[in-house]
């Protein structure tokens, strides 16, 4: 057996080495041709069983070990990829079986959900997006790639680029929020951070844009739920971050769990084949989600497992995660002529090509000494602290309660999340450990050394009524100069399968807040959560409110940096915060309707019992200073076809602190053949200003950015009246118009 395998490989290598058409070609083209030749040579030598093996991915145990059958299957060429199996030694052992004992020596591709860090955990993706700084996401993804490759991984199931307009959906935490433009910037940055310019480099992993597509639009915010999304909305809202990932060179896509317009996304030929592979020319492969091929039966599409395999493969789904319908049923489907071998070959080719591009054939093994060297390094923690700090969003700051003065006597630090080492890790924590997590208590104590300067009382549990220390909390507040309450959700209250029907403070947390507010002491409410919470009462009654999300390993230091004013608040909301669940879905880039909300007109689009405005709009976030915009000028108010639009606006820091602000530029197309949103973010700039300083911020929008998909789904730019709106968040701003002239 072994000898035969060696012979086959020898012939293949000779074949690849002897290719003459690569001579003289550019290095990139030569590498491509070599990869292609290797893949074609392998393909022609593979048995059907070996081909189907490449289409199969199986799960190991959550702590990283493979299952007993994996080694045998790898030896027989029946398993091409695993998830959760990790550790340099473990993966090397399995890889050695693939390379030395399988007939063709095709390497195994080891995958894992490295979503916002492997060992060093960064803020959850929604929080990271609140930095509005994609370079942070890129650097964080690179660190995650370094740590992942140190333990033998070469593929991460990230970035998650699902647009989410429903904070009930627990997985809103994993993405970049509601905006296609911001989402696209972060999609691109994360793909670049994971893959670099060459994903074969020893410190890079292959990325996976997921979940293709529409997963965030599940009805009622319930996970895995049905979606009905018009093709127009798909193209305008849900596709763009995926498209950005493709443009950034993402190696793989993952299909989503949801039923999309009557066809489960995992078996949807329109999205998988027509859009992704044909229109976008995506040359990578698509992996299913966990058992989602088999789940097409429960959806009511496939009659049985064989039907599930047929539907999915024909739709363009290449690799099956965990369920085994391909391995079990494709042989019969091929025999019966229901599926052509070319369809199987196309899937195998795509997978082998990525394995080759990952350099796995040349460097299948991991240097085992890296595991001790490359995890948890101090420079990664410094970046995690920067990211945690910059993701914090200041939502309210009456009477300048914040920043806390260094000369402050003492702080009462109260709440179930104030000293919680688990919550900051979020719901996908890779191999993150809770011991090194810096809690808010630790972060504040580091800033305010000395006995009794930070008095900590847990107060209540996040949920339930198992703990009652409300009185002690009140006493601590009375004895201190200021009370900081850290309230919100546990990390398992968002993420997968963690949708909520109420998005308030669970348990007795509001009682705790009320009691502390009644002391009359200044109160800062710090919110830890993986989603926007609807806290109208809390926000109205608390002088200072800060959204801290789940900040990762360095959460406490990052937050303390902001609370104490060592870092100016940077964060802006990547998603709208509703006042109440009844407003959902609520998002800034909505349509105007024929009857926009008008307080003086009953027959306008609104609620009779609540404002239609959000609690906090998209793009919102205060600073410790004050900023004003003035003089929005559009350089050319009559634009001819093909010309860019140039605009400028002045921003002044009218406060007394040096601070940073984000100038946001929105576009409105007043009349078009398909109605357009009231505004869409098109660009933004971060500026740093000294007190009293004014800067001129300039923007240039390319002509193509003025377009949209028309009724026939063509991308068009239509003449007519447009507005540019410059603001510090999405709800208000300076507005100026320009006209796009008809082409003559």
Site mask for ligand BGC (CB under 6 A), range 118-157, x = bound: ---------------------------------------x
| Closer residue to ligand BGC (CB): 496 or 536 | 496
Exposed/middle/buried for residue 279 (C-beta within 10 Å: 0-12, 13-18, 19+): exposed
Binding status of residue 283 toward ligand BGC by CB under 6 A: no
Residue 510 has which token pair?
């509001």
Q: Which is closer to ligand BGC, CB of 120 or CB of 292?
A: 292
Asked whether position 210 contacts ligand BGC by CB under 6 A, the answer is yes
Phi, psi at residue 240, to the nearest 5°?
-50, -45
What's the min distance (Å) between Cβ of 153 and ligand BGC? Answer: 13
Q: How many residues does the chain have?
A: 744
Binding mask 50-69 for ligand BGC (x = CB under 6 A): --------------------
What is the nearest approach in angstroms of ligand BGC to the Cβ of residue 36? Answer: 29
Range list of β-strands (E), 517-563: 523-528, 544-547
**In the bound complex, what is the minimum distance in angstroms from residue 176's beta carbon to ligand BGC?**
15
Nearest to 414, CA basis, from 370, 460, 368, 478: 460
Task: State the minimum distance, in angstroms, from the CB of residue 583 to ligand BGC.
Answer: 27
3-state secondary structure of 609: coil
Q: Which two tokens stand for residue 551?
A: 């900040």
Residues 599 and 620: beta-carbon distance below 8 Å:
no
Spatial separation of the C-alpha atoms in residues 570 and 705, rounded to whole Å: 27
Asked if the peptide bond before residue 685 counts as cis, ω within 30 degrees of 0, the response is no
Give the sign of the dihedral formed by CA 304, CA 309, CA 315, CA 319: positive
Size of the site for ligand BGC (CB under 6 A): 7
CB 200 within 8 A of CB 359: yes
Nearer to ligand BGC, 252 or 623 (CB): 252
Query: Residue for token digits 């680029």?
Result: 161
Q: Indicate the residue whose CB is closest to ligand BGC.
A: 157
Q: Which of 57, 18, 593 is nearest to 291 (CA)?
A: 57
Shorter beta-carbon distance to ligand BGC: residue 265 or 683: 265
Q: How far is CA 624 from CA 398, 403, 422, 650, in A?
A: 11, 7, 30, 19
Smallest distance, Å, CB 212 to ligand BGC? 11
> Of 132, 169, 239, 290, which one interacts with ligand BGC (CB under 6 A)?
290
Of residues 181 and 224, the one with the C-beta less far from ligand BGC:
224
Three-state SS for 395?
Answer: strand
Taking the complex as a whole, the smallest distance from the CB of residue 79 to ligand BGC amounts, in Å, to 16
Q: How far is the CB of 497 from ligand BGC (least distance, A)?
A: 8
Between the CA atoms of 559, 564, 569 and 575, what dihedral angle is there, to the nearest 10 degrees? 40
Write the DSSP symbol of residue 458: -
| Residues 325 and 308: beta-carbon distance below 8 Å | yes
Select 223 or 376, whichever has its Cβ closest to ligand BGC: 223
Torsion angle, CA of 681/683/686/690, rounded to 10 degrees? -90
Tell me how far apart the alpha carbons of residues 622 and 620 are, in angstroms, rounded to a whole number.
7
Two tokens, residue 351: 């997978």
Smallest separation, CB 113 to ligand BGC (Å) = 5
Judged by CB under 6 A, the residue of 16, 37, 74, 83 near ligand BGC is: 83
The reply to whether 289 sits near ligand BGC by the rule CB under 6 A is: yes
Question: Please, what is the minimum distance in Å from the beta carbon of residue 155 to ligand BGC?
Answer: 11
370 binds ligand BGC (CB under 6 A): no
User: Judged by CB, which is closer to ligand BGC: 62, or 407?
Assistant: 62
Segment 376 to 405, residues that bind ligand BGC, using CB under 6 A: none
Q: Is 191 in the site for ligand BGC (CB under 6 A)?
A: no
Spatial strand order of the sheet with 734-740 comes to 638-639, 734-740, 720-727, 659-669, 680-689
Among 289, 318, 431, 561, which one carries the catalytic annotation? Answer: 289
| Alpha-carbon gap, residue 95 to 108, rounded angstroms | 6
Contact 488, 529 (CB under 8 A): yes
Question: Quick check: 680 binds ligand BGC (CB under 6 A)?
Answer: no
Does residue 113 interact with ligand BGC by CB under 6 A? yes
Q: Which helix (H) or strand (E) holds 697?
A: strand 694-701
Nearer to ligand BGC, 137 or 639 (CB): 137
Binding mask of the shown chain, residues 473 to 512, with x at each position contacting ligand BGC by CB under 6 A: -----------------------x----------------
Per-residue contact string for residues 234-273; x = within reach of ligand BGC by CB under 6 A: ----------------------------------------
| 179 counts as catalytic | no
> What is the pairing mode between strands 715-716 and 285-287?
unpaired
Does position 295 interact with ligand BGC (CB under 6 A)? The reply is: no
Of 258 and 353, nearer to ligand BGC (C-beta) is 258
**Per rule CB under 6 A, is residue 116 in the interface with ligand BGC?**
no
Of residues 147 and 680, the one with the C-beta less far from ligand BGC: 147
Give min distance, CB of 314 to ligand BGC, in A.
23
Say if strands 659-669 and 720-727 run parallel, antiparallel, or are unpaired: antiparallel
Question: What distances in angstroms separate CA 43 from CA 104, 296, 663, 714, one per listed residue?
Answer: 10, 29, 53, 38
Catalytic residues: 289
Binding residues (CB under 6 A) for ligand BGC: these are 83, 113, 157, 210, 289-290, 496
């Amino acid at each position: 057996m072994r000898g035969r395998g060696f012979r086959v490989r020898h012939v293949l290598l000779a074949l690849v080495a002897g290719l003459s058409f690569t001579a003289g070609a550019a290095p990139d083209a030569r590498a491509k041709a070599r990869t292609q030749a290797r893949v074609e040579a392998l393909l022609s030598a593979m048995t059907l069983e070996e081909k189907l093996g490449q289409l199969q991915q199986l799960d190991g145990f959550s702590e990283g070990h493979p299952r007993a059958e994996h080694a045998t299957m790898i030896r027989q060429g029946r398993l091409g990829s695993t998830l959760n199996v990790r550790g340099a030694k473990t993966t090397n052992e399995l890889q050695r079986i693939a390379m030395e004992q399988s007939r063709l020596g095709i390497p195994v591709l080891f995958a894992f959900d490295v979503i916002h860090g492997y060992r060093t955990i960064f803020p959850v993706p929604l929080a990271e997006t609140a930095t509005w700084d994609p370079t942070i996401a890129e650097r964080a993804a690179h660190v995650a790639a370094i740590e992942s490759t140190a333990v033998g991984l070469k593929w991460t199931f990230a970035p998650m680029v699902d647009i989410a307009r429903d904070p009930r959906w627990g997985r809103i935490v994993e993405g970049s929020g509601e905006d296609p433009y911001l989402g696209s910037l972060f999609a691109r940055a994360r793909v670049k951070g994971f893959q670099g310019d060459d994903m074969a480099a020893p410190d890079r992993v292959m990325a996976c844009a997921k979940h293709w597509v529409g997963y965030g639009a599940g009805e009622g915010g319930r996970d895995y739920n049905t979606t009905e999304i018009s093709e127009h909305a798909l193209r305008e809202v849900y596709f763009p971050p995926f498209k950005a990932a493709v443009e950034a060179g993402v190696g793989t896509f993952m299909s989503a769990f949801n039923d999309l317009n009557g066809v489960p996304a995992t078996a949807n030929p329109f999205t998988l084949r027509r859009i992704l592979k044909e229109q976008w020319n995506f040359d990578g492969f698509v992996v299913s989600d966990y058992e989602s091929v088999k789940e097409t039966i429960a959806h009511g599409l496939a009659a049985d497992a064989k039907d599930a395999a047929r539907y999915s493969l024909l739709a363009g789904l290449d690799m099956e995660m965990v369920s085994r319908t391909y391995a079990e049923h494709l042989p019969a489907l091929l025999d019966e002529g229901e599926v052509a071998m070319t369809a199987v070959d196309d899937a195998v080719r795509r997978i082998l090509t990525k394995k080759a591009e990952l350099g796995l054939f040349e460097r299948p093994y991991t240097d085992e000494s890296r595991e001790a060297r490359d995890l948890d390094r101090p420079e990664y923690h410094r970046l995690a602290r920067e990211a945690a700090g910059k993701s914090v969003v200041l939502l309210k700051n009456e009477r300048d309660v914040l920043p806390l003065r260094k000369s402050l006597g003492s702080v009462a630090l109260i709440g179930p999340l104030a000293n919680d080492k688990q919550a900051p890790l979020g719901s996908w924590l890779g191999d993150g450990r809770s011991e090194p997590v810096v809690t808010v208590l630790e972060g504040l104590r580091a800033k305010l050394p000395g006995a009794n300067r930070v008095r900590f009382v847990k107060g209540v549990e996040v949920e339930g009524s198992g703990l009652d220390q409300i009185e002690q909390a009140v006493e601590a507040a009375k004895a201190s100069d200021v009370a900081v309450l850290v309230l919100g959700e546990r990390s398992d209250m968002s993420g997968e399968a963690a949708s909520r029907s109420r998005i308030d403070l669970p348990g007795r947390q509001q009682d705790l807040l009320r009691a502390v507010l009644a002391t009359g002491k200044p109160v800062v409410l710090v919110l830890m959560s993986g989603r926007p919470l609807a806290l109208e009462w809390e926000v109205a009654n608390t002088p200072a409110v800060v959204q801290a999300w789940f900040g990762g390993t360095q959460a406490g230091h990052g937050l303390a940096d902001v609370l104490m004013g060592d870092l100016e608040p940077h964060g802006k909301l990547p998603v709208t915060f509703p006042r109440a669940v009844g407003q959902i879905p609520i998002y800034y880039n909505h349509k105007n309707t024929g009857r926009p909300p008008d307080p003086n007109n009953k027959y306008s689009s609104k609620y009779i019992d609540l404002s239609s405005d959000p609690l906090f709009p998209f793009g919102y976030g205060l600073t410790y200073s004050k900023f004003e915009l003035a003089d929005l000028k559009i350089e050319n108010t009559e634009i001819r076809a093909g010309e860019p639009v140039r605009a400028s606006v002045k921003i002044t820091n009218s406060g007394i602190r040096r601070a940073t602000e984000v100038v946001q530029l929105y576009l409105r197309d007043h009349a078009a053949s398909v109605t357009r949103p009231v505004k869409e973010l098109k660009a933004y700039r971060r500026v740093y200003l000294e007190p009293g300083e004014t800067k001129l911020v300039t923007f240039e929008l390319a002509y193509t950015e003025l377009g949209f998909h028309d009724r026939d789904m063509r991308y068009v730019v239509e003449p007519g009246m447009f507005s540019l709106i410059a603001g510090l968040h999405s709800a208000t701003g300076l507005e100026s118009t320009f006209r796009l002239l008809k082409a003559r």
